[in-house]
Structure 1
Amino acid sequence: MPPGVKNVFRRSALCCARTWATSVHRFWVTDSFLLQKGWSPGTQCVTKCDHSKPKPSELAYRKGDMLTIIEAGVGKGVYRAQHNKTGEQGLISASNVREREAIRVDPSLSLMPWFHGKISGPEAVNKLQPIEDGLFLVRESIRHPGDYVLCVIVGQEVIHYRVIYKDNKLTIDNSKFFYNLIDMIEFYTKNQGALATTLQKPKEKAGAKSAEVELSKAGWLLDIDKLALGERIGEGEFGAVYMGHYMGQRVAVKDIKSPHLVGNLVNFLRTRGRSVIDTGQLLRFALDVCAGMEYLESKKLVHRDLAARNILVSSDNVAKISDFGLAQTNPKTSDNVKLPVKWTAPEALKKEKFSTRSDVWSYGVLLWETFSYGRQPYPKMSLKEVKEKVEQGYRMEAPENCPTRIYALMRTCWEMDPGKRPSFHKLREKLERELSCYSTVTRS
């Protein structure tokens, strides 16, 4: 396996889950329906209970294990299946398993459920209950803006480790450096390093759910040991792509050059905030994305999923567009995909009319995300409310401290008539002028 692929594939499982869900099984249906229609060989299932004392010819499993259907019609509601982890085969009852569900969008899912934002040391201590060795959380440092604090229980006390933000990297002891908090936490869950203990259990922020745990429950965390890599089939800006096989299915695996990427724009903005990222940097991010979209515009490509979550930030703070899973060269073609409502233009939601100008609408939302430092668009509004109110003329208010001219740009992106929205070329010109003005003011 090429260097970096194993680690990247594991990390990328969360990002790739949607694609896998689409290519394998899109919908979950009831057991009764499945008993009538039957599962075809290759169907992935998750066990609903323990079956630790199987009869001869039956398969043993624990609740939450992943199984693959090998043969249907062995008996009424009985299938032959293979255990994905052990490789053992045997008979199972359909009533004890459920088909692996498609991924559903849940705004409470987080890759950093242990990140509690700007809270004080005493607040962190109060949250780290009940007392348990290795229980931890991460907070923004109030005393040292721009830095973080890792709070972990050792014995009966909470130890606070200052995480210093230095040269676009994070460090606790000036000997081990990380590009982001996720990498740091992953390292210290496996290595004690400079800490008094390894990190054992995250204290999740109220209302947050671990994306890793939820995807695991749904059966979408991939077992790297089951991946077999084949020939190299492509090369992208962020790494090579290889043909592979996973549990009998052909897959594509991207070997991302992870040391040069520090995460997506949403997480980057949320974990650094106003104390680290100034308006000039926000303008540069906006300009980077706009320039990339201008290129797509020139090639008559429609992205259809432009959002801050799909923008990667390099180690030298350059924003780059990613996730072209919904991109089209023929925007008139209907493919019945589930669209990101809060980012999609009204004409695209109602009539599936996609164009570069519908991407411009999405870019306006991305601008709002950027200048709100990663906030969720249309906060506290349901998807139904967003659709209805936007159709009626509602537009989001300007983010706090957002430059007036940038908010005016957002509003032009959100014109109801697509023909009145600016091109990416025009947007780039205006952003360049705005950045130039900002630089002149800050130098004087």
Structure 2
Amino acid sequence: METILVKTAQLILSLSILVVLHEFGHFMFARLFKTRVEKFYLFFDPWFSLFKVKRGETEYGVGWLPLGGYVKISGMIDESMDKEAMKLPPKSWEFRSKPAWQRLLIMLGGVMMNFLFAFVIYIGVLYAWGEEYLPTDSVKYGIVVNEVGEEIGLQTGDKILTVDNQHIENFNKIIPTVVLDDAEAIQVERNGKVVDVEISDEDLALLLKSKTVMSPRVPFRMKVEGFTPESPGKEAGLQIGDEIKGLNGQNFGFYDEWNKELKKYQGKSILLTVERNGKNLDMPMVLGEDGMIGIKINQFLEDFFEFKTINYGFFASIPAGIQRGVQTTKDYLKQFKLFFKPETKAYESLGGFATIGNIFPATWDWFSFWNMTAFISIILAIMNLLPIPALDGGHVMFLFFEMVTGRKPGEKFLEYAQIAGMVLLLALVLYANANDIIKMINGTF
């Protein structure tokens, strides 16, 4: 429960910041061009609001329905569907009275703010924390793969060399590169030979659904640092400082081998070999039904692999942050393109609020929070540019039509288009959140 609350709090804070900044982008350009803004709201306020205050011409408030936010601009057909106001003659301060180029900037203001904010976050993150990653060349023991990894043709012990014969510096970007660049093959070293692992569209569909596929293979080293509640190991006589050497007379080179063998004895008796004060002891015990000994070990990947750290000064962080923002935008557009490739079944991975919230860590971490907020900001910017009426991109599409043809679309047409767009968006929201529910029921969330 605590994990869910922490993730929910991060999601709400992140979206609240992004919604306010997005709407401020519209608000800023509207005021710049002397266009009246009647309302500026975080969240929607059908029937009533949680808080509101009027300053000048604008009512500022917080609604009760946490599905975004809005600014109500005078003389504009938007989600408020204020038809009565549109029947009156245009006023000089209204949106519809402004030149097309001004209306275009007002509509693009929110998207521009989202992109700008994401770039600023990346600059700040690189300046404050730098960049740390695991080089692919440092994964010297090969990889451990799960069922999905095995299904696409990878094997535990493989050493990743290249993707489509291109070296990937950052180990954690190997699978994203395969998916986003629609790679045809992964080159691996297997038993001393170079092998091509071909990637099909069906494989891409599997990768899109999977949270993890592979991880670095870690040598077996297990020193008891503590115990879990109701620990079978503690009951059998294990002590802090003991180093586990083997199981039922077997020794292990890698942790995955130990883990695989241990799972065979869930709820059964085993003979554990441990080293204590320089001597080996054989210790019989009965495992719990979860197949665990019930010990705590303090081991990190940094104990086995050499990570690379890049620190940035203030001025160096600016181009680096912008570059990261541009690359993140490109990567998301590549991912978005997969939705139009039915054989990858990317549409099945579309998620709602639970999916978005689940990308945040279970404990509050400002580094992760700001990275995720920057990523979501770019997603919001791109999604808002889609040419769907009711989104900024829909308004921009009609404005481009007006600028090219010299004719405004009729107000009746815009009203119907707005309604159609809102219905489509509602359907997408329902579909995405239904996917979340199905994943939870199937235990694949």
Q: TM-score when scaled to structure 2?
A: 0.23
Structure with bigger RCO (C-alpha 8 Å, 6+ apart): 2
Q: TM-score when scaled to structure 1?
A: 0.23
Larger Rg: 2
